[in-house]
């Protein structure tokens, strides 16, 4: 690997995080970063150190790559951002034509720089990335570059090929739109990683015991459960409990859980016993607040399972 190649590779993790925030897909983000690095390598002779740092230059390329990708599909969503809540026992409504927001493995954005790691954890939360999807591509880029990655207005203008005045105007509009649609989903203060882990451990113990009442005690009053690609979603501990009673009746009470890390949030893969083996059932990503678990985003997509390198069975 040449010195130039090594210089590119050191930014891979943060570029994956950037592209993920832009497009809302873990698999697409990896592909877009690969395209970004390939374009940079091909244009290496044109790179001018006097005009921009290599990091700024790479973000300019990545932004253009993301814009092209977003031209055909501008928004990924979660069910709670698309349709009204449903009865927790309503028939499942499968919707495969909608490009759903995907979770991102923490391993995809591991960073050696503590500042980068901190920014990644706080700004990769599913609810925040879902809100970003309501912005135009330019507004997403402006908000992420300025408010998340702390690029200056001048650097952001260079990356986005805009004037500083246009950057400031775009940032104002993006912040306004975030407040309008965010409904508290912005980057907010959350419990420490250790505290969140304790909440998850208690939830996992109650889940393995199929103790629905214990599960309900861990939920915030406004808890949401959603399950893309199903349109079904609902709110509140009572509805959550009704659904979990159904889950255990329909899928049995013999489960094994494997902790994983997604979007800087606690998560686990759930395996239920079927015909003598434990089969992968769902990946569940939790939002934990000081009031309890406020959201459980449940995924059952083979593409997502593959992104997290989850085994389809457990011994």
Residue-wise pLDDT for 172-220, tens only, equals 999 999 988 875 454 556 788 899 999 999 999 999 999 999 999 999 9
CATH number of 193-314: 3.10.450.50
CA-angle at 224, arms to 103 and 219, nearest 5°: 110
* Burial zone of 63 (CB within 10 Å; 0-12 exposed, 13-18 middle, 19+ buried): buried
pLDDT of residue 3: 66
Spatial distance between the Cα atoms of 61 and 51, rounded to a whole number of angstroms: 14
Report residues of the chain scoring pLDDT below 50. 112, 184, 186
pLDDT of residue 186: 47
The pTM of this model reads: 0.91
Q: Tell me: the pLDDT tens digits for 233-260? A: 999 999 999 999 999 999 999 999 999 9
Domain regions of the chain by residue span: 3-182, 193-314
CATH number of 3-182: 1.20.140.160
Task: Report residue 125 CA to chain centroid gap.
Answer: 5
pLDDT of residue 205: 98
């Amino acid at each position: 690997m040449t010195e130039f190649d090594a210089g590119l590779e050191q930014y891979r993790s943060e570029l994956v995080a950037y592209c993920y925030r832009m497009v809302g897909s873990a698999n697409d983000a990896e592909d877009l970063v690969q395209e970004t690095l390939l374009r940079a390598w091909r244009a290496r002779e044109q790179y001018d150190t006097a005009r921009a740092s290599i990091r700024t230059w790479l973000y300019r390329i990545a932004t253009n790559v993301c814009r092209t990708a977003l031209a055909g599909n501008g928004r990924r969503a979660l069910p709670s951002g698309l349709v009204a809540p449903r009865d927790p026992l309503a028939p499942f409504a499968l919707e495969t034509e909608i490009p759903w927001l995907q979770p991102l493995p923490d391993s995809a954005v591991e960073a050696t720089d503590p500042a980068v790691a901190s920014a990644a954890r706080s700004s990769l939360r599913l609810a925040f990335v879902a809100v970003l999807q309501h912005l135009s591509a330019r507004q997403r880029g402006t908000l992420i570059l300025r408010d998340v990655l702390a690029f200056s207005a001048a650097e952001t203008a260079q990356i986005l090929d805009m004037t500083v005045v246009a950057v400031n105007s775009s940032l104002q509009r993006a912040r306004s739109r975030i407040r309008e649609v965010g409904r508290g989903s912005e980057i907010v203060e959350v419990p420490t990683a250790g505290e969140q882990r304790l909440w998850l451990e208690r939830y996992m113990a109650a889940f393995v015991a199929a103790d629905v009442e214990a599960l309900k005690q861990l939920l915030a009053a406004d808890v949401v459960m959603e399950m893309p690609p199903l349109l079904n979603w609902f709110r509140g501990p009572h509805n959550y409990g009704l659904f979990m009673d159904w889950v255990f009746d329909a899928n049995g009470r013999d489960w094994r859980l494997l902790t994983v890390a997604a979007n800087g949030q606690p998560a686990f893969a759930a395996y239920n016993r079927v015909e003598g083996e434990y089969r992968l059932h769902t990946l569940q990503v939790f939002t934990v607040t000081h009031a309890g678990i406020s959201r459980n985003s449940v995924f059952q997509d083979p593409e997502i399972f593959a992104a997290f390198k989850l085994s389809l069975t457990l011994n």
